[in-house]
Structure 1
């Protein structure tokens, strides 16, 4: 039986590169990816992957903020990830918050607050992985240029990795344009996992002391807090509650 050292959850908007990161670690096309505007990950999928000889379970989750034309409504995607986080056997060792650069979107702050602050109560190490930086002259320099903007929005990751999750076009036999940055990016991701994943997981569940008992009143307060943080409409909040009620 394969020994798994911990659970790592990847969250982020549609197109943030979560599935590409899974494939990068696996060195195989395990997770489906799409170049379209709509995401192709509808449910959470788990993959047991080795990181320097140690196995971790990675969870690729539905993309957020797809909009009306997306394959998964935002409220439904949030509910699905919420249920994963609160019902996950074995707890959580690391939350990997993914976003696509180089532009910082307005929803980034909302999503960070939702997962790191509200759902995980700042108890789970949360790292920021910025993808889509293959055209940057200095990938790591992007973070130092934009660090202040993140801090102004209350985003203080435990660690960061500015990467490219694609190899790019073929320029000659067995060589692609972003190969060097891709290999360096893989090392960054592996180091994040080994350096930041908790040795003992945190449990975020409905009977956990973080929620001080899971009563109907408390449940309503948590739902309202999530809805307010995400700017959900009444219709979205109703859809969120409906999805939560499903098994």
Structure 2
């Protein structure tokens, strides 16, 4: 039986690799706090949670901008290629974002992968990092939940965490307690939210519909990318063509 696959995605600098390292109790993944991401290709790391091995897939950061290692469209394409390559399917999407603010790109990226590419068939959870200044970590979610509801982002679960230990103070790191509790939170999230039977990401016939819409009229498929994911019509068409090309190569 294959290990469950957990896809970790989100913007650059949100702490995806730090979450991997926290779960593995080691420095498996390269970390970077810079705007330019350090993960280009998707990388698999196997961790064990309460006796169950899981495959964690650390992916290229979204929304790096023109100066980044990977353009936004490249990052989307690479993530789609990963999802399509997992013949044993996907068990959970883990969207990592950084507090204390919610960016508009959060909604776009969440909807694109959960609603469009994974057709709402794979549960998605949110892990919020960068909360070292919060006295009670979970208070952040209490204060901000209405903003997620307003953006129609409804995760299967969430964890407000600290993904770094901080400076060493005597024989203990500054954020050690919150770090240890955060690890337990994310482990529990993975165990409770993951599909017991993985879902295989299907061919992007949906994107072929977009291209047909472009030729004929402003159809429903294209409208979803433009309105739900807040892309321009040009961005939606270019992305659809790129994803169609991936599927054509598999044919």
Would you call these one fold, judging by a TM-score over 0.5? Answer: yes
Partner of 1:181: 178
Deviation at 1:144, TM superposition (A): 0.9
Report runs of 4+ in structure 1 exceeding 6 Å deviation: none
SS in 2 for 1:136: coil
1:172 aligned to 2:170?
Answer: yes
Deviation at 1:115, TM superposition (A): 1.0
The 3 A distance-change label for structure 1 pair 40 and 224 is farther
Q: Structure 2: how far apart are the matches of 1:240 and 1:217? A: 7
The 3 A distance-change label for structure 1 pair 240 and 61 is farther
The alignment covers a number of residue pairs equal to 238
Deviation at 1:53, TM superposition (A): 1.3
TM-score under structure 2 normalisation? 0.87
Could you say which structure has the greater relative contact order, defined with CA pairs below 8 angstroms and 6 or more residues apart? Answer: 1
Partner of 1:20: 18
Q: Structure 2: how far apart are the matches of 1:92 and 1:202? A: 5
- Within 5 Å, give how 1:99-138 maps onto structure 2: 99-138=97-136
1:234 aligned to 2:225?
Answer: no
1:59 aligned to 2:57?
Answer: yes
The 3 A distance-change label for structure 1 pair 225 and 14 is farther
Partner of 1:191: 188
8 A Cα contact 2:207 2:244, kept in partner = no
- Aligned partner (choices 76, 86, 89) of residue 88 of structure 1: 86
Q: What root-mean-square deviation, in Å, do the aligned CA atoms of Structure 1 and Structure 2 show?
A: 2.3
SS in 1 for 2:127: strand
The 3 A distance-change label for structure 1 pair 88 and 232 is farther
Deviation at 1:217, TM superposition (A): 3.7
Q: Structure 1: how far apart are the matches of 2:38 and 2:237? A: 23
- The answer to which of 48-57 and 215-224 deviates more is 215-224
SS in 2 for 1:97: strand
8 A Cα contact 1:98 1:128, kept in partner = yes
Q: Structure 1: how far apart are the matches of 2:41 and 2:174? A: 32
Q: What CA deviation, in whole Å up to 9, does each residue of 1:66-105 have, x standing for no partner?
A: 1121110001101111121123111111110110001111
Q: Which runs of 5+ in 1 are unaligned?
A: none
Q: Which runs of 5+ in 2 are unaligned?
A: 214-220
Deviation at 1:33, TM superposition (A): 0.7
TM-score under structure 1 normalisation? 0.88
Deviation at 1:240, TM superposition (A): 6.9
8 A Cα contact 2:210 2:237, kept in partner = no
Q: Structure 1: how far apart are the matches of 2:201 and 2:74? A: 19
8 A Cα contact 2:7 2:56, kept in partner = yes
Q: Structure 2: how far apart are the matches of 1:189 and 1:41? A: 21
Q: Structure 2: how far apart are the matches of 1:224 and 1:200? A: 31
Partner of 2:197: 200
Q: Structure 2: how far apart are the matches of 1:21 and 1:192? A: 13
